[in-house]
Each structure stands twice: as structure tokens, then as C-alpha cells.
């Protein structure tokens, strides 16, 4: 099945959905994937921008503006 046919079939199935939860879930996935595609079109940082980010990160660390990896993962798991 070609991409166009798959998209049409998907839209037809989507229009049959009655669950707000499922629609919300699909919206989150679409939003996440759209942002990912957009982020792939980024420009590399200059050395100055890179160093500024490092300095900001070091300042955040010194001032306790951190989040544990496990807390971040739990937060991310709620996105989808």
C-alpha cells in the first residue's frame, strides 16, 4: 500500500474514533513528531553560542536548577 493510500485509510479510521483519550493521545504523537521533524532542520551552534550554553549549564548546576534524570524520564513518559 502506498503512502497516499495509507494516509487516507488512517484519516478514515481516525474519523470513526469516539474516544477523546485516544484522539488526545494521537494529537500528542503528531505534535511530538512534527516538532522532531522541524528540529532536524537546525543550524549548528557557533563556538560562542556553545560556550554560552556550557556556562549557563554550569551556573544552573551551581545554583541547584537541576532535575534528576529519573524525574525527567517520568515527566517525559506522561507526554505520550
**Interval 21-45: pLDDT, tens:** 999 999 999 888 877 666 666 778 8
Cell output for 65:
536548577
The per-residue pLDDT for 35 is 77
pLDDT above 90: residue 18: yes
The per-residue pLDDT for 53 is 94
Cell output for 8:
487516507
CB 25 within 8 A of CB 80: yes
For 16-30, b/e burial (b = at least 16 CB within 10 A) is eeeeeeeeeeeeeee
Q: Outline where the chain has alpha helix (H).
A: 3-16, 20-39, 47-62, 69-77
Of 41 and 51, more confident: 51
Cell output for 61:
548546576
The sign of the dihedral angle between the CA atoms of 49, 54, 58, 61 is positive
The per-residue pLDDT for 76 is 86
pTM: 0.42
Amino acid at each position: 500500500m502506498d503512502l497516499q493510500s495509507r494516509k487516507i485509510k488512517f484519516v478514515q479510521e481516525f474519523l470513526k474514533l469516539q474516544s477523546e483519550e485516544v484522539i488526545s493521545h494521537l494529537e500528542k504523537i503528531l505534535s511530538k513528531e512534527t516538532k522532531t521533524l522541524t528540529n532536524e532542520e537546525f543550524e549548528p551552534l557557533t563556538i560562542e553560542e556553545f560556550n554560552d550554553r556550557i556556562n549557563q549549564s554550569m551556573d544552573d548546576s551551581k545554583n541547584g536548577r537541576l532535575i534528576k534524570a529519573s524525574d525527567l524520564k517520568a515527566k517525559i513518559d506522561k507526554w505520550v
